Structure 1
């Protein structure tokens, strides 16, 4: 007769989902959502309390209904750390590095693709679907690549980018988490992705990431007046620039963004403007931000 189960025995919790199954940005977002499910799907604010610098708006941009096409490295690292700490996982640093390193691989692979080329693991357009004869001649190597969800092509493409960089600079290159915190940055850079703007009811293609002072107010208009949110993260993303009231930066340039924590006018959902003086850039508007607000 089998022994009765010991009611005092505590089963080991399942390990967190692995990022390596993702070969595309969409799949990477899916793995982030799986990690959120694994940690118990807590309220965003409760999750953010486990990692300084993470905000509910950032979590929504990662795993919400309209996530960024390309999740930022800083947001990814903070989100993964928060999920691990919420489940009381000891020493989450190695797991965070694992996620950010795999994100670097996906980014490197995406950079090698020509315009119109599908990322590994995505279906080709209808007019490029291989016919039966072509499919029958596929090699065993191709089949193995398909079985791994395109990760073979992902790593090959990433390796090509990293190897080219190593040859050009004459130094060794390692796939590790990059410094995306913006501490030493002095300018903005394009950030691939899209985001839904609930204030203007439109989808913005591509964003701009800039180093900025954290915990600054976001205003309803390009002028000091009604505060609608607080921008807590550094770096942060911005949509466009416009001219408004002069500020301590010695100019009248303001940037449009979404704050991390809404403080007023809830119908705006945190969307508003910050003065250029809050950004750590040498010029205003920064040359990288090529879009001017209408």
Structure 2
């Protein structure tokens, strides 16, 4: 044996450790935008070129893209109307608005297609969501078309 002390071999991070670091970096929450806070207005935007065709074959060009509270989509713009679908994901799009029954202080309802069919598969979850569930700064949202059958 020589008089030199034995060196301990360096250990490199294993593949699992490297993967864990990568996952942590990718899933870490993004920093808030300057000026964004709990009292910041929700961000909604009009998308003028977005095409949609409802279950009747009616075409729409343009929509509103906005955050929402998940909930029930109704066949008519009334709180007593049957639930046709549910909204499960946010943000979501809306093609037009109309007046209907009062729901939590507003009579504005947005026409859209739900994420999940509840009844009447033929209707494909197309129906109305009350304005209270759409996190827009004002209702109806400026620039969004009023439904032609209103």
Q: TM-score range by the shorter chain?
A: 0.5 to 0.7
SS at match of 1:293: coil
Q: Extract unaligned runs of 5+ from structure 1.
A: 1-89, 95-178
Match of 1:193 in 2: 50
Higher RCO (Cα < 8 Å, 6 or more apart):
2
The question of 1:292 aligning with 2:146 is answered: yes
Please list the CA deviations of residues 21-41 of structure 1 after superposition, one character each: whole Å capped at 9, or x if unmatched. Answer: xxxxxxxxxxxxxxxxxxxxx
Give, in angstroms, the shift of residue 188 of structure 1. Answer: 2.5
| Count of matched residue pairs | 115
Structure 1 residues 246 and 239: CA distance shift in structure 2, 3 A: same
The question of 1:206 aligning with 2:86 is answered: no
Q: Do 1:255 and 1:276's aligned partners in 2 also have CA atoms closer than 8 Å?
A: yes
Q: Do 1:188 and 1:288's aligned partners in 2 also have CA atoms closer than 8 Å?
A: no
Q: Do 1:187 and 1:286's aligned partners in 2 also have CA atoms closer than 8 Å?
A: no
Q: Do 1:240 and 1:292's aligned partners in 2 also have CA atoms closer than 8 Å?
A: yes
Q: Do 2:52 and 2:59's aligned partners in 1 also have CA atoms closer than 8 Å?
A: yes
Matches within 5 A, 1:140-151: none
TM-score by length of 2: 0.68
Give, in angstroms, the shift of residue 234 of structure 1. Answer: 1.1
Q: Do 2:86 and 2:114's aligned partners in 1 also have CA atoms closer than 8 Å?
A: yes
TM-score by length of 1: 0.36
Structure 1 residues 187 and 286: CA distance shift in structure 2, 3 A: farther
| C-alpha distance in 1 between matches for 2:73 and 2:63 | 17
Match of 1:264 in 2: 119
Q: Do 1:193 and 1:206's aligned partners in 2 also have CA atoms closer than 8 Å?
A: yes
Give, in angstroms, the shift of residue 282 of structure 1. Answer: 2.8
Match of 2:7 in 1: none
The question of 1:219 aligning with 2:74 is answered: yes
Q: Extract unaligned runs of 5+ from structure 2.
A: 1-21, 27-32
- Structure 1 segments, 4+ long, off by >6 Å, are none
Q: Which structure has greater strand proportion?
A: 2
Give, in angstroms, the shift of residue 185 of structure 1. Answer: 4.9
Please list the CA deviations of residues 117-173 of structure 1 after superposition, one character each: whole Å capped at 9, or x if unmatched. Answer: xxxxxxxxxxxxxxxxxxxxxxxxxxxxxxxxxxxxxxxxxxxxxxxxxxxxxxxxx
Aligned mate of 1:237, from 86, 93, 102: 93
